[in-house]
Amino acid sequence: VTPVAQGVPQASPRRPGGPLTPRGDRDWPTRGIGSRSFNPLVERLRGLGLSEAALGPLRSLHAEVRNIPAGGPIIREGEVAARLHIMLEGWSCRYTSVDSGRQSTAFLLPGDICNLDALQDMRLPYGVNAMTACKVAVLRIDEVRRAATGQAELAWALFRLACDDNRALVHRAACLGRRPARARLAHLICELQARSAAAGIDVGGSFMLPATQEELADLLGLTAVHVNRVLQSLRADRLVTLQLRWLTILDWDALATIADYAPDP
């Protein structure tokens, strides 16, 4: 075997210490319940320009906060979800199992609602898994429904959120169906960079990417091995750096070109 000199720093899978909880802890018996009386759904909707008056009925709702260790389930697939889950901290992914593995349909970041459609039908066609240690707000669906009853502005805002989800899915489907692996990965990187920046958790062109290569593969409709290879090629082309679960974009323009990435304004 030739001692390949890549020229680009290789990824070292484990960071010595950092913001990310190690993946090893697959023991999630303790989901610490730190219940307070604050409500992230209110914050999320306020961000959409909802009036304080419209938010009123939600205020009284009690949100439980759950801590889920990395790798733990937030929502089990096929579960009848009696609760609405909202990401507070950490990353998770929404996935659907098919015969040959799983397909992720979204990465969920702080502020994202895991199972919005459970308000309409509690039988979910997907599961949600924590990719890092997560803090998740949990509200009882029946309570949310009750609070929303007769609240037109609120219902309209939820409709809005569902439409947003919709667009993201349309986009993802288009990528999965018609784009080669390199473009898909490049696009994902651009997208996550933008989302991290929007969430204010990036650091000048760099951001934390806690996903395993296998988790990336699940989202991209590829295998982990192939994600690895494509990633290597992006590294070789000096487009990105990924080490210690921290991704840096070296050449945004080139990457965006490959990705055919267009941020929506």
Partner DNA sequence: CGGAACGTTGACTAGGATCAACTCAGGTGG
Partner DNA sequence: CCACCTGAGTTGATCCTAGTCAACGTTCCG
Count other Cβ atoms within 10 Å, centred on residue 262. 9
- Residue 241 interface partner, choices DNA, its own copies, none, CB cut-off 5-8 Å depending on type: none
Q: Is 37 a residue that touches DNA (CB under 7 A)?
A: no
Q: Which of 120, 145, 225, 238 binds DNA (CB under 7 A)?
A: 225
Considering only residues 155 to 214 of the shown chain, the ones binding DNA according to CB under 7 A are 180-182, 212-214
Distance CA 132, CA 81 (A): 22
**Minimum CB distance to DNA smaller for 160 or for 182:** 182
Backbone angles phi, psi at 96, to 5 degrees: -130, 135
Category of 64 on φ-ψ map: left (φ > 0), alpha (ψ -120 to 50) or beta = beta
Which residues of this chain interact with its own copies, rule CB under 8 A?
96, 98-103, 105, 116-117, 119-121, 125-126, 148-152, 154-156, 158-160, 162-167, 169-179, 183, 220-221, 260
Q: Is 226 a residue that touches DNA (CB under 7 A)?
A: yes
- Residue 163 interface partner, choices DNA, its own copies, none, CB cut-off 5-8 Å depending on type: its own copies
Do 107 and 211 meet the contact criterion of CB atoms below 8 Å apart? yes
The two tokens of residue 7 are: 């020229």
Contact segment (CB under 7 A) with DNA among 60-68, 138-146, 147-155, 216-224 equals 216-224
Considering only residues 66 to 85 of the shown chain, the ones binding DNA according to CB under 7 A are 71
Identify the three-state secondary structure at position 39. coil
The two tokens of residue 35 are: 């219940």
**Minimum CB distance to its own copies smaller for 65 or for 220:** 220
Q: How far is the CB of 255 from DNA (least distance, A)?
A: 16
Its sign, for the CA torsion 152, 154, 157, 159, is negative
Q: Is 224 a residue that touches DNA (CB under 7 A)?
A: yes
Distance CA 40, CA 33 (A): 16
Q: Is 5 a residue that touches DNA (CB under 7 A)?
A: no
**Residue in the block written with tokens 């899978």:** 13
Q: Considering CB under 7 A, how many residues would be counted as binding DNA?
A: 34
- Residue 176 interface partner, choices its own copies, DNA, none, CB cut-off 5-8 Å depending on type: its own copies
Identify the three-state secondary structure at position 42. helix
Q: How far is the CB of 168 from its own copies (least distance, A)?
A: 9
Q: How far is the CB of 226 from DNA (least distance, A)?
A: 3
**Minimum CB distance to its own copies smaller for 139 or for 208:** 139
The two tokens of residue 255 are: 């990457």
Distance CA 93, CA 4 (A): 34
The alpha carbon of 245 is separated from its chain's Cα centroid by a whole number of angstroms, namely 15
Element (H, E) at 257: helix 252-259
Q: How far is the CB of 26 from DNA (least distance, A)?
A: 6
- Residue 44 interface partner, choices DNA, its own copies, none, CB cut-off 5-8 Å depending on type: none
